[in-house]
Amino acid sequence: MPLELNQPVTKITTPQLGANAVVWSLEIPHNVNLGSVLVQLGVTVSATGVATKSVPTPQQACSLVTVLANGTPERTRQLNQIFGATGLNALNDKNNAGTVQYFQAGAAVTAVVTGITYGALPVLIGSIQDVAIQAALANNTATTAVFGLPFLFSEDYRKSYKASLAMALPTAISANGQTITSNIGGVIFQFAMQPVTGAAGTFSAATIAANIEYDNNFFVPSAAVPRVRMSKEKQLFKTVSVAGDLEMADLIPNVAGEMLQIVSLLTVANTISKVVIKQGQGNIIRTLTWADNLLSLRKAGVNVDAIPANRFDIIFDRNDDPTTGLAMDPNNELSIIATFVGGNVETTTILTSIYGPLD
């Protein structure tokens, strides 16, 4: 088993914020096998001016995170899609939901839950402890929250170490596993930081720092796996204007050699009652109502408490091996028919996780 290492990649930084959104970049060191990036995001919300609380959230400071490899976007997610009790990170392990600690006037805010005092140390985002500490915040007082946000590549919760390692991102390439011959051109995280308006009770400042977990494995190309692979995460958008059945797969690239791991359909005011998935003529892969899907995922060991009513999560690689997802096949059209209830005009977000070569 390779040695797991940790390395800070930046000192605590205060991004230069202003009236317009800015992009703050974090460059990952070259020649590592990337396991995770542990981001500490400090978010300050100013006093409200009235008898209400200032409660920071990660998305108040950062609207979008994009991971680029060799300059190409490989992952794009909003922070509220990843973190929290109903974030995608919590599907497999609630402990990956991220953490939070609140401060007012420089002191940690605490609260008692079932006789235990919480808040002196970070708690899970969206937990009952988090809710209790928010309730204990003083009114009309500026609040700083420090969020611990794990961006996962190697996924420790997977039961198989080999599967966990397969999900890591090797940035160095070697012909013999010992001598580096090339790399993938660098990995950069881009954080789209929100504007600061100066209005009472709004986002007013941020700090950001990070640490990486990695090991010293190199990528050795082979005939079976000639290129570096990773779990690529895209977000697509489709307008929904009427209730009923709608095709959701026409925007998903159908590329040979790639494995579809997860498709999450995220609505706003509508809900999705049923999904039918086909690959090729008449080949039905899944037919599930929202409730059936929840039961099926629970049976497979998924943390279904992380699934909100306005998100339909379809998970294909259920046995901890990313290569057992749905094999994409350009000769057989992928179809995902979702049945929408509500008929509201809105944009549905399609979140995909696809295991395959870097784009």
Select the more confidently predicted residue: 50 or 225: 50
Which residues have a Cβ under 8 Å from the Cβ of 23 and sit 6 or more positions away? Answer: 190, 191, 192, 193
Same fold, 5-215 and 229-357: yes
Q: What are 151's strand-pairing partners?
A: 37
Q: What rounded mean pLDDT belongs to the chain?
A: 92
Q: Is 163's pLDDT higher than 70? A: no
Select the more confidently predicted residue: 54 or 185: 54
Q: What is the C-alpha separation between 181 and 178, in angstroms, rounded? A: 9
Find the range with the poorest average confidence among 161-170, 229-238, 348-357: 161-170
Given 1.20.1250.20, 1.10.287.40, 2.60.120.730, 3.50.50.60, which CATH number is that of 229-357? 2.60.120.730
Q: Is 88 exposed, middle or buried (0-12, 13-18, 19+ CB in 10 A)?
A: buried
Digit-coded pLDDT (tens) for 219-234: 999 998 999 999 999 9
Q: Band the pLDDT of 210: cuts 50, 70, 90.
A: very high
β-pairing verdict for 271-279 and 284-289: antiparallel
Q: Would you state the pLDDT for residue 1?
A: 43
Delimit the domains of the chain by residue range: 5-215, 229-357
Class of domain 5-215: mainly beta
Digit-coded pLDDT (tens) for 242-273: 899 999 999 999 999 999 999 999 999 999 99
Q: Band the pLDDT of 161: cuts 50, 70, 90.
A: low
Q: Would you state the pLDDT for residue 101?
A: 98
Q: Would you state the pLDDT for residue 155?
A: 74
pTM of the model: 0.93
Angle at 33 between CA 31 and CA 38, to 5 degrees: 110
Q: What is the mean pLDDT of residues 27-41?
A: 93
Q: What is the mean pLDDT of residues 190-208?
A: 96
Q: Band the pLDDT of 157: cuts 50, 70, 90.
A: low
